[in-house]
Amino acid sequence: MMLPREHGAYSQMTLPLVTSFVTAGVSLPALLTGLAVILGFLAHEPLMVLLGRRGGRVRDRAEGGARTTLMIIGAAMIAVGIAAILLAPASSRLWFALPMCVAAAAIVVFAIAAARGALSWTPLIAIAPGLVAALSLAFQTRTPALKTIGWTLMSTSTAGAVVLMAGL
């Protein structure tokens, strides 16, 4: 099995899932969404192999298996994701589109909802460390080491999770 090897990747996948289950509860659509996330995570390594990011020898040796694995995992991820969206309450289906928005648009939506009392300010406070870290990493003059990026992402996810669990 080809598993992702990047620093912090496992916490970046797991922490938001655990946080959402703790703060919002567990339902079938939530479990299916979590499964789609896990499948997307598992698709990363075969994709890296096919793109040659693990080196030419690895790609040449494992290309067939990586292609098959990626097709199976990708199809399962799409099917499970569609099921999650269809089984989700109509009022929450729009939130599946949120990750497709840019960070600034999401912050504006959250701020408007919080200002109108439809949403707590807690999510805005929870995303602040991640936003600051992302902007800091994006504007560095040299590319930071993967280990630095991994630990930064893991730390900001942990901070956001703690704020959400305490605030909601």
- Compute the radius of gyration of the chain from its Cα atoms: 18
Domain boundaries, the chain: 1-93, 101-168
Least confident of 58-62, 105-109, 130-134, 152-156: 105-109
Using CA atoms, how far apart are residues 113 and 60, in angstroms rounded to an integer? 51
What tokens were used for 25?
């509860």
Backbone angles phi, psi at 160, to 5 degrees: -65, -40
Using CA atoms, how far apart are residues 160 and 154, in angstroms rounded to an integer? 10
Rounded to 5°, the CA angle 80-86-87 comes to 85
Residue 3 vs residues 44, 49, 148, 151: alpha-carbon distances, Å = 8, 11, 20, 19
106 band by pLDDT with thresholds 50, 70 and 90: low
Distance of CA 141 to the CA centre of its chain: 26
Whole-number pLDDT of residue 99:
67
Residue 37 vs residues 12, 81, 105: alpha-carbon distances, Å = 11, 8, 22
- Average pLDDT of span 7-13: 83
- Average pLDDT of span 35-55: 90
Residue 13 near residue 153, CB atoms below 8 Å? no
What tens digit of pLDDT does each residue of 55-102 get? 889 989 999 999 999 999 999 999 999 899 889 998 888 777 766 555
- The residue among 20, 168, 150 whose CA lies nearest residue 84 is 20
